[in-house]
Amino acid sequence: MTEVTREVFGQMPREEGGGAVEKFILKSDSVKVEILSLGCIIAALETKGRDGEFSDVVLGFDTLEGYTRKHPFFGTVVGRVANRIAKGRFSVDGKEYQLFLNNGPNSLHGGAKGFDKVLWSPQVLPNGVCFFRLSPDGEEGYPGDLKVWVTYTLSGGELAINYRAQTSKTTPISLTNHAYFNLAGQGSRDIYDHEISIEADSYLPVDDTKIPTGEVATVQGTGFDLQQPVELGKHLQKFHLDGFDHNFCLQQAQARRLVARARHLPTGRAMEVHTTQPGIQFYTGNNLDGSLKGKGAVAYPKHSAFCLETQNWPDAVNKPHFPNALLRPGEEYNHTTWLVFSAA
């Protein structure tokens, strides 16, 4: 059985529109997850090691203030479009749209005030919580009134995140959760002793602004071949990689499938990622630099966490040969990602 409780986490600053931010606590016998109504943020996720002890395995902050200041999307739901859109521009049905540029020459994770920075309306479910918001036509430059539902449900060791959306005008959409994981426990120095595997035989090479070049490249014989588990630290050294921030191309199927696995051998904690999405961005916290103080006032240095963001391929709205990025009126966007936690 999953127990669901709610409490007030804090009050939004007046200049941000005010309003109470609530925290929803979902608890099973093996996982406890805390989710905020601000940005649908996963603020904490405690899971057992093989010794039976719980540890919080996601980066974040102890107070609301941390989340209302600038931070690298810790635990947030990002949208309307996760990842980057080249030059913040795209065309739909012959009309060009210009978005805010917040990542060099590109638009990233929905723009200046994306889904991560707004309050959502919560509804408690027997085993989770559903958040709703209406993103108005023209918000951050995107067309159409977009109704969005993000639902978190917990069952034993499995956390499911379902994303649904409907629009009044054709709009690009790609939603993901941007949790930063360290299975040794958040605040641990690095992720080099984690074992990672990703079920993908191709990935997207990027230019120096992190926009896919358009090539779909094979992973074979490269440092991007993660089809068999690799120990991250040794693997980065072997291939002289500074880290990962790349989209891996998944089997194109609408069905649930296992796409990635992370294991921390010293504690026995493991996490599987299952999804219906066509891509997964593997990011190794390359831009963390120790300047942010997180939970327990611990600094978060480079490579102290990883993200496995299930999503559409980056810049798909400008690349016709990438999976379709557009949602049209009368259709429904509906994707689910499952995070399965265990210890062995």
Give yes or no for a contact between 114 and 132, defined as CB atoms under 8 angstroms apart.
no
Partners of residue 196 on adjacent β-strands: 230, 262
Report whether 334 belongs to an annotated binding site.
no
Tell me, what DSSP letter sits at residue 241?
-
Report whether 179 belongs to an annotated binding site.
yes
Active site residue 274: no
Query: How far is it, in rounded angstroms, from Cα 120 to Cα 249?
Result: 31
- Of 194, 255, 257, the closest CA to residue 226 belongs to 194
Task: Please identify which of the residues 34, 139, 309, 335 carries the catalytic annotation.
Answer: 309
- Of 77, 312, 333, the closest CA to residue 204 belongs to 312
Report whether 180 belongs to an annotated binding site.
yes
Vertex 116 angle, CA 197 and 156, to 5°: 50
Give yes or no for a contact between 189 and 302, defined as CB atoms under 8 angstroms apart.
no
Query: How far is it, in rounded angstroms, from Cα 52 to Cα 344?
Result: 10
- The set of residues, in sequence order, having a beta carbon less than 8 Å from that of 330 and lying 6+ positions away, is none
Instruction: Give the full edge-to-edge strand order of the sheet including 245-249.
Output: 217-218, 202-203, 245-249, 279-283, 307-311
**How far from the centroid of its chain's Cα atoms is residue 303's Cα?**
16
69: preceding bond cis by omega (within 30 degrees): no
Active site residue 178: yes
Report whether 178 belongs to an annotated binding site.
yes
Task: Please identify which of the residues 109, 178, 274, 335 carries the catalytic annotation.
Answer: 178
Report whether 245 belongs to an annotated binding site.
yes
Report whether 261 belongs to an annotated binding site.
no
Q: Which tokens in the block code for residue 40?
A: 């649908």
Vertex 330 angle, CA 326 and 335, to 5°: 55
The size of the chain, in residues, is: 344
Helix (H/G/I), strand (E/B), else coil: 133:
strand
**Annotated binding-site residue numbers:** 83-84, 178-180, 245
Catalytic residue list: 178, 309
Q: Which residues are annotated as a binding site for beta-D-galactose?
A: 83-84, 178-180, 245
